[in-house]
Structures are given as C-alpha cells and as structure tokens.
C-alpha cells in the first residue's frame, strides 16, 4: 500500500496477478492516490463492508479472480448499494465481456497490458462521472425536498363559502403592495394566509421573513427586528442583520403583533413611516423595501381603547384587514383537511394514507374545535398512531375527542337566555382547558400541546379567565 499523496483519495485494486497490483499501485501512487491492493474478490468485498475505513473513490477489478469472477463481485457491489466507480480489467478482454461489464454497472473496461496514460485517463473520467452523478443526486434530493416542502406546506384547503371568500380577499390583496392585518383565533392558519398572500404578490420571488412577537423576549425583540452592531450590548460580538433588513425586497410577517410592547410598537411605526431602520447601536440608517403583513388573535380595537395598543400603528397596519374564519365556521372543509393531514403524516412514515369513514368525518364535523385547524391536525395524527387498519372509524378517534360536547342541537346545553355564541364558546373553551389541565396535572406545556395551542396563547387565556397566579 502506498502512502497517501496530495490527492489523498483511496483507490482499490483487485487482481490475482502480483505484477498488475504492483504496476497499478506505482502508477496511481505517483499521482498522489492512496492505493489498497487485493488478490481475490472476497477480500475486496470484505474491505467494502468495513464502514469505519475510508470510503474508496474507485475500484480497478480484474475479470478473472481465483475465488469468484469479477463480474459477480461487481453484481454484489451494486446489490449492496456501493456506487463507487468500477473499472474492469482483463488480459482476455472481448467486446462481449466489455458490454456485459458496462451493462452490469462498470464504468469502463481496460485490456492488459495496461498503459500508464490510459489508466490515468480512465480513472479521471470515471471519477468525474461519479462526481457529476453525486451532484445530480444532491440536486435531485434537494428538488424532492423542496417539492415535498411545498406539498406539505399548509394550504388554505376548503371549498366552502368562508374559504372561497378568504382566498378571493388574499388574491386581491396580493396584487397590491398594501399592508395587511390578518386576524383570527389561534390555530386558524394566519401564517398560512400570510404565506399565501406572499406567493400571490409581485414579491413572491423575494424572501418571506417571519417574526413572532409572542415568542421573543422583550429585551431581544429590537435586535431581532432591526439587527445590531458589534459592541452595542453585552453579547453583541459581531454585526448582525435583523429580520426587517433580511426581508428587503420581500414580505415581513409580524405574527402576534398584539403581544408586542408599546416600545416595540413605536419602533415598528417609525420604521413603517420612514421606510428606514437603524440597527441597535448604529448611527446610520438603512433604507428598506419591505411589505408588512401582520397578524393577531387579539381584539386590537379593545386594546386601543384600553391603551395597550397604538391606534396610529393599527391604522398603518390595517390598510387591508383580513379575517381567517374559525374551523367551527366551516365544518364542510373538515374532510378535505383530514385527507390532507392524513396523507402528509402517512408519507412521513412511509405508509399508505388511511381512509376516514363517513361516520368518523361526521363525528369530527360536529366538534367545536377551540384549537381550530392546529387542533384538528393533532387529532388526525393521534388517530393515525392509534389506528391499526386502513380505515379509521368513529371508534378509532382519540377518546377525548369523543367526549367533547357536540356543536349541534344534541349538545344537551344550548345557549342560556341572553348568552351570545361568543359567550358559549368562551365557556366551553374554559371547561375544556380546565379538564385538559387536570388530565395533564397542571403541566401547561403538555396541555397546550394537547389543545393544539402554543404555550404563550394558553397562558394568556388562563390569565384572562383568572386561572393563574401570574400578575
């Protein structure tokens, strides 16, 4: 075995003739390859079965070997998934043998005696073809991942009047560059609507950058939005671009805008008015071309009246107000959503998507869905995990879903005198949250997951109902 040269790539040589092994080791070693030699097929197969050893770049393989012929070794290599380039060599080569070798996966065929230039040229071509094939595979995998991501990206499914109206509103808003405020309960798909708006806009080729106002601590939100310069605060070890700047030429999605502090609201308002931003600690401003799409599950007019949300910012954001309907408002769309979620989850597990029976779908359509589409997705996933057969019936649905009060007339407790639908929904949600919290032994994170809510949203609802000691 020769010492590793400048190229360092490992090339295997399998030939029963010691002279051929020595010649190839000399030729390839002089070119900087690391060469490993073997005199029979079993040895080279064993070497390729060692995962801890360096992956070889190529194999020179004799057709005639003492234990098994080289074409059989080639067959076994390909059957085991080894895709390294293989150059067959033979002292009794025929056109028929060469054709058979190529058909069975060889990259080239050399006849003995071996000429130095021919050996090196053949190896270089084989390595180049292998490199191009790997690049094609990487590109194909990336394309497949992108296609899968687009297929799995939550879409605004549903053909009912509510979703038809929503898609039309998004189509019209997408054609302009106006700022849009998307409202709706948690889990209805506000981010999906925002991404749809971006795809329908002239900015579709630009970036879509999202900022979740409920997920970023107050002391970090300004840096997250606008970036910072090195040394502007403890831990700022380098200049950093903010999300506002990263969205230049595209769409900036300000999710949960109602959870942002008055100070952050003021900064956002100034950036919208000026069309410029300034990184934390910087003295110069940066011009940006950003379309703002904001979203909230809170009642911003009530917050304005309470003095917790800026009215001027509200009117800046709500140039085009769009509301995403709750799942309870569009039960006719549940079968399409169930099929979409079941198909996506089954593909991830390499399974055939199951079918939900008519009875199961009717059962799901009668649920109130306080967690909206996100909750439905969680229920579908749990049903797939619990089900054994190809058809999921009503009895296969998670038990807590079956125990939920129905939304129809058979619920057993209709509206109280003077009670609005919103009052009834709030009362139901409170009862459900309390029960799930009890089942989760007070673990808010686990209860939020069960309910299809994020932890911050659940905490906010608990505070509103007076069910937490938080001040």
Q: Give me the residue spans of the domains in the chain.
A: 10-136, 161-325, 329-407, 415-471
359-368: per-residue pLDDT in tens? Answer: 999 989 888 8
Q: Which residues on adjacent β-strands are paired with residue 240? A: 228
Q: Cβ neighbours of residue 209 under 8 Å, at least 6 residues apart?
A: 243, 244, 246, 247, 250, 251, 252, 253
Hey, do 10-136 and 415-471 end up sharing a CATH topology, with the first three levels equal?
A: no
Q: Write b or e for each residue in 209-222: b if 16 or more Cβ atoms lie within 10 A of its Cβ, otherwise e.
A: bbbbbbebeeeebb
pLDDT class of 414 with cuts at 50, 70, 90: very low
124-162: per-residue pLDDT in tens? Answer: 999 888 888 888 877 777 665 555 555 445 567 888 899
Q: Which long-range contacts (CB under 8 A, 24 or more apart) does 142-147 make?
A: none
Highest mean pLDDT among 72-86, 308-322, 412-426: 308-322
The CATH topology of domain 10-136 is: Rossmann fold (3.40.50)
424-463: per-residue pLDDT in tens? Answer: 666 677 777 877 776 776 777 778 878 878 777 787 777 7
Q: Which CATH architecture is the domain 329-407 placed in?
A: Orthogonal Bundle (1.10)
Query: Who wins on pLDDT, 389 or 166?
Result: 166
Nearest to 215 by CA among 207, 224, 206, 205: 224
pLDDT at position 335 is 93
Q: Is residue 66's pLDDT more than 50? A: yes
Q: Is residue 379's pLDDT more than 70? A: yes
Task: Walk across the sheet containing 180-183 and list its strands.
Answer: 208-212, 251-255, 291-296, 180-183, 320-323
The CATH topology of domain 161-325 is: Rossmann fold (3.40.50)
Mean pLDDT of the chain: 84
Full-model pTM: 0.56
- Tell which CATH classification among 3.10.310.30, 3.40.630.10, 1.10.10.60, 3.40.1390.10 matches the domain 415-471: 1.10.10.60
Q: Cβ neighbours of residue 426 under 8 Å, at least 6 residues apart?
A: none
pLDDT class of 253 with cuts at 50, 70, 90: very high
């Amino acid at each position: 075995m020769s010492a590793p040269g400048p190229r360092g790539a490992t090339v295997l040589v399998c030939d029963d003739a010691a002279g051929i092994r020595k010649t190839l080791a000399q030729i390839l070693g002089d070119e900087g390859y690391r060469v490993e030699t073997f005199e029979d097929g079993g040895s080279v197969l064993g070497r390729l079965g060692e995962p801890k050893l360096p992956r070889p770049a190529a194999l020179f393989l004799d057709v005639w070997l003492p234990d098994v012929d080289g074409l059989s070794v080639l067959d076994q290599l390909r059957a085991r998934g080894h895709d390294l380039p293989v150059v067959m060599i033979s002292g009794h080569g025929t056109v028929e043998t060469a054709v058979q070798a190529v058909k069975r996966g060889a990259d080239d065929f050399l006849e003995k005696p071996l000429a130095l230039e021919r050996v090196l040229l053949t190896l270089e071509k084989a390595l180049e073809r292998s490199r191009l094939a790997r690049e094609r595979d990487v590109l194909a995998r990336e394309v497949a991942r992108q296609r899968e991501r687009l297929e799995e990206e939550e879409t605004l499914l549903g053909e009912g009047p509510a979703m038809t109206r929503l898609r039309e509103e998004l189509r019209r808003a997408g054609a302009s560059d106006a700022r849009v405020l998307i409202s709706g309960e948690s889990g209805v798909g506000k981010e999906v609507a925002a991404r749809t708006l971006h795809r329908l806009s002239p900015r579709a080729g630009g970036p879509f950058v999202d900022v979740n106002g409920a997920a970023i601590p107050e002391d970090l939100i300004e840096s997250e939005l606008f970036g910072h310069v090195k040394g502007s605060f403890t831990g700022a070890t380098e200049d950093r671009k903010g999300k506002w700047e990263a969205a230049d030429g595209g769409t900036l999605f300000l999710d949960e805008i109602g959870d942002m502090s008055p100070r952050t609201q003021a900064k956002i308002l100034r950036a919208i008015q000026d069309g410029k931003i300034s990184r934390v600690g910087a003295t110069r401003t940066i011009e940006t071309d950003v379309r703002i799409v904001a979203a909230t599950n809170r009642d911003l007019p009530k917050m304005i009246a309470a003095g917790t949300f800026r009215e001027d910012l509200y009117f800046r954001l709500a140039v085009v107000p769009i509301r995403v309907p709750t799942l309870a408002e569009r039960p006719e769309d549940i079968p399409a959503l169930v099929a979409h979620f079941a198909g996506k989850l089954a593909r991830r597990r390499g399974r055939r998507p199951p079918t939900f029976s008519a009875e199961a779908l009717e059962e799901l359509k009668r649920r109130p869905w306080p967690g909206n589409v996100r909750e439905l997705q969680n229920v579908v996933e749990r049903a797939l995990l619990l089900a054994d057969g190809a058809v999921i019936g009503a009895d296969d649905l998670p038990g807590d879903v079956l125990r939920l009060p129905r939304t129809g007339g058979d619920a057993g407790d209709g509206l109280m005198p003077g009670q609005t639908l919103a009052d009834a929904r709030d009362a139901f949600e409170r009862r459900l949250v309390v029960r799930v919290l009890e089942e989760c032994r007070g673990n808010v994170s686990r209860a939020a997951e069960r309910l299809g809510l994020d932890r911050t949203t659940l905490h906010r609802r608990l505070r509103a109902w007076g069910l937490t000691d938080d001040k």
